[in-house]
Amino acid sequence: MFKTTKGLVLREVRYKEADRILTVLTQDEGKITAKARGALRKSSRTAAATQQLTWAEMTLFGNRGKWTVNEASVLEGFQGLREDIASFALGSYFAECLEAFAVEDQPDPELLQLGLNSLYAVSQRLYPAEKVKAAFELRLAVLSGYSPALDACAFCGKEQPEDPILGLDTGGVCCRACRKAEFGNAARLDAESLEAMRYIVSAPAKRLFSFRLGEESGKLLAMAAEKYLQSQAGRSFGTLSYYKQF
Ligand SMILES: [Zn+2]
């Protein structure tokens, strides 16, 4: 069965002489694994479009749940990521996160859009990388069903918690003074970074990065979003350690 769809290449692994095994987040089939035969040969017509962090139109051949890439052409190569090692490392981290949270064979347009918009924003340097990273992490958690409850202090009910902290396991927020043992691990916030988190949770996809934040609050947001996603994923990400070297 042939199928034409669009897909974002999250990962490519060399296989045998010149093949690539790809993990692709596709529009119609969700996350799939596909083999691209001969993609590493110089003469290959699929070479460019089967590289990691490429958005491509692909014609796939499916047989008993196994996919092969027959044809592929680049729709967006995110060139800006390839010209800067730190940007590419951040893009690879996004890809690893998407792979971790995406469900096999289940299309998720919002997840795909988040991935594409975030890669585009970093590639084109539309916003500071740390801002895109934090918004990506928090929104990915939300889309994956781990939305934090940020409306009010979990204990006293104040809508503007004093010296707010975010529960990394519980996904709640509370005043520092209200904190109880069952709140578990937490990350420090301030009023401004809490407001930014509230924005990111519910902003329209196209305006996800359009929030303002001072430098100190930005750091708190970055730390909280990163820790929160890791806590919800229940794992760490190798590509994140790599990105941090830059
Ligand atoms: Zn409180």
Contact 239, 89 (CB under 8 A): yes
Residue 213 CB partners (closer than 8 Å, separation 6+): 131, 192, 193, 196, 221
Between the CA of 217 and the centroid of ligand 1 the distance, in Å, is 20
Give the total number of structural domains in the chain.
2
Between the CA of 172 and the centroid of ligand 1 the distance, in Å, is 11
- Provide the pLDDT for residue 42: 84
Measured CA to CA, the distance from residue 131 to residue 122 in angstroms comes to 10
Between the CA of 223 and the centroid of ligand 1 the distance, in Å, is 22
Q: Burial-class residue 58 by CB neighbours within 10 Å (0-12, 13-18, 19+).
A: buried
- Provide the pLDDT for residue 43: 85
Between the CA of 135 and the centroid of ligand 1 the distance, in Å, is 25
- Provide the pLDDT for residue 65: 84
The CATH number of whichever domain residue 61 belongs to comes to 2.40.50.140
Last residue of a domain, one of 37, 55, 76: 76
**Same domain? 128 vs 224:** yes
**Same domain? 128 vs 237:** yes
- Provide the pLDDT for residue 102: 97
**Same domain? 150 vs 230:** yes
Between the CA of 147 and the centroid of ligand 1 the distance, in Å, is 20
How far, CA to CA in Å, does 64 sit from each of 1, 67, 68, 194?
10, 8, 11, 47
Residue 16 CB partners (closer than 8 Å, separation 6+): none
**Same domain? 62 vs 156:** no
Between the CA of 193 and the centroid of ligand 1 the distance, in Å, is 17
Between the CA of 163 and the centroid of ligand 1 the distance, in Å, is 9
Q: Which domain holds residue 61?
A: 2-76
Q: Which ranges of the chain have pLDDT less than 50?
A: none
